[in-house]
Structure 1
Amino acid sequence: MMTKEQFEAWCRKNNISVETKALIQRIREADPVRKVRSFNGMFQELILVPKWD
């Protein structure tokens, strides 16, 4: 994962808007969310993304 300084530099280099940068930062800081379930004896991993208001 990028350091905070690398992320800031990446945002400047790619002309990321303040709003988009804030959204990306919230996602970067959020805890990962995932759910694993069994399906016919085989495991299937479902990746759940947090819902932002």
Structure 2
Amino acid sequence: MAEIKIEKKKPVWPWIVAGLIIAALLFFILLSNTETQSDSNAAIEKSTDVR
């Protein structure tokens, strides 16, 4: 009789964890960029106010 080699399935959870970490990093990078832009826009608006 011939031998049948059975391979165990590789775990999926490391890929899920890596995906969540990458998504969290992208979220925080995008969030920090929008806050920085709003702060700089507020500074520009304050400096250009007509009195």
- TM-score, normalization: structure 2? 0.28
Structure with more of its chain in helix, by fraction: 2
Which structure would you say has the larger Rg? 2
Q: Greater relative contact order (Cα 8 A, min sep 6): structure 1 or 2?
A: 1
